[in-house]
Amino acid sequence: MNYRTVTVKENILIENNEKAAQLRKNLQEKGIFFINVMASPGSGKTTLLVELINRLKDKYNIGVMEADIDGDVDAERIEKLTGVRSIQIHTSGACHLTAQMVEDAVKEFNIDGLNLLILENVGNLVCPAEFDTGSHLNMMLLSVPEGHDKPLKYPLMFQISQITVITKIDTLPIFHFDTNLCKEYIHRRNPNAEIYEVSALKKQGLDELINAIEKRINL
């Protein structure tokens, strides 16, 4: 990457950080807690969100924003399986959402009356880590089939996520995944990271994760 490219990128990131800080403040003033969920493609984001939303929807007014390069399957799936309102955001080819894109979506979505807003970011361990979305909580998922070495390779994502969820733990018997080593790698990137182990399919570990999320909502 040449010097010109890096400079342009830095300017974009500075602008984005300012926009994100403003959005975070605005949402907080409206009593809306905003969670940004990030992970690789196919790590189980949508499946986990369905389980979490179904356990939280009686207590909170929830809205979901589903970001994807293309396709509408996730927003439809969330609405069908949880009944909560959901919109699909297309990134026009981009590998992440900017705070501006979130703000535009929030305006279109009409968030009055919501108190919990959840964004499922583009499936990607790199770019979404660089772009602050204005969220109050960054939660990332790492699925067992991806391997325990990922915190070494995608450091920024693990560094900026207050909560890391190890997903698909029901598949631990068939993959070479060292949970303790993975936790050690995560804590190298972020000593304060809270780590939860879940299987959305087998409904394991969901209560602990929900407690952790609610503790942050109520802060």
Q: Which is nearer to a copy of itself, 172 or 210 (CB)?
A: 172
Task: Give which of 198, 167, 202, 42 is closest to 211, Cα–Cα.
Answer: 198
Residue 3 corresponds to which tokens in the numbers above?
């010097």
| Residue in 23, 168, 186, 198 binding a copy of itself, rule: CB under 8 A | 168
**Amino acid at the residue 193:** A
Among 14, 21, 73, 181, binds a copy of itself (CB under 8 A): 73
115 binds a copy of itself, rule: CB under 8 A? no
Which string of DSSP letters, residue by residue, matches 137-194?
Answer: EEEEEEEGGG-TTHHHHSHHHHHH-SEEEEE-GGGGGGS---HHHHHHHHHHH-TT-E
Q: Does the footprint of a copy of itself cover residue 5 (CB under 8 A)?
A: yes
Smallest separation, CB 21 to a copy of itself (Å): 18
Give the binding range for a copy of itself (CB under 8 A) out of 53-61, 143-151, 191-199, 204-212: 143-151
Distance CA 189, CA 92 (A): 31
Q: List, in order, residues 6 or more apart from 219 with CB less than 8 Å away.
A: none
Among 40, 121, 161, 199, binds a copy of itself (CB under 8 A): 40
Out of 33, 34, 154, 196, point to the residue binding a copy of itself (CB under 8 A): 154
To the nearest whole angstrom, how small is the minimum distance from the Cβ of residue 217 to a copy of itself?
29
Identify the residue among 54, 57, 95, 214 touching a copy of itself (CB under 8 A). Answer: 95
Q: Which residue in the set 14, 21, 152, 181 belongs to the binding site for a copy of itself (CB under 8 A)?
A: 152
Residues 6+ apart with CB under 8 A from 169: 144, 197, 198, 199, 204, 205
